[in-house]
Chain A
């Protein structure tokens, strides 16, 4: 099983700041089949990024993903008030596993 480790666990930031979230895999994620999801309190997760660097439908361009192999990054160029949430990475290169999440808070 591929274990995904996200860091940091929590980030305290202000609107307008740039955010970089990390997701590290215990082994290489095949074909970079890695996604990022956003989850707000009381809501289901929403697909943001797929294939490590591709924005899903309707996702603003302030969200970007990068990385390959075992190290992946989600960047939010300028935090909007609506972006404070928990972010999960997920791989589908070998079965499906999720990271533990990073909470972005004010």
Chain B
């Protein structure tokens, strides 16, 4: 079955760019029908949607992060990526990649990676 796995540095310095990749296995990202997104969970906080991209382009972002977030899909490698610029300690948290699927009533995060902890610290 389809699985998602995040990878990337666990430690990023303040003001730098956080870069994470999500590898999709068990299915082709370019088969269509899904959006590919990122969610974060800061310590002691709830879930926060960051943004998503379709395999052929087309993105949307949380307005609160829109100026700093960039999501791209590399269909040839069956993966998608997140870049979050100008990070501060407030960006520390667990980052999840997720598939957004269309169910009969709306679009939902129906498959998630295990998550990766990113700490912003000098």
A residues near B (Cβ < 8 Å) are 1, 31-35, 37, 43-47, 50-52, 54, 56, 88, 90, 92-93, 95-101
Contacts and interface: CB of A to CB of B under 8 A. Distances in A.
Nearest to A88: B47
What DSSP secondary structure best describes chain B's contact surface? strand
B112 interface: yes
28 contacts: A31-B105, A31-B106, A33-B106, A33-B107, A35-B108, A35-B109, A37-B47, A43-B114, A45-B47, A45-B96, A45-B109, A47-B109, A50-B108, A51-B103, A51-B104, A52-B105, A56-B103, A56-B110, A88-B46, A90-B109, A95-B62, A96-B62, A97-B49, A98-B46, A99-B46, A100-B45, A100-B46, A101-B46
Contacts of B74: none
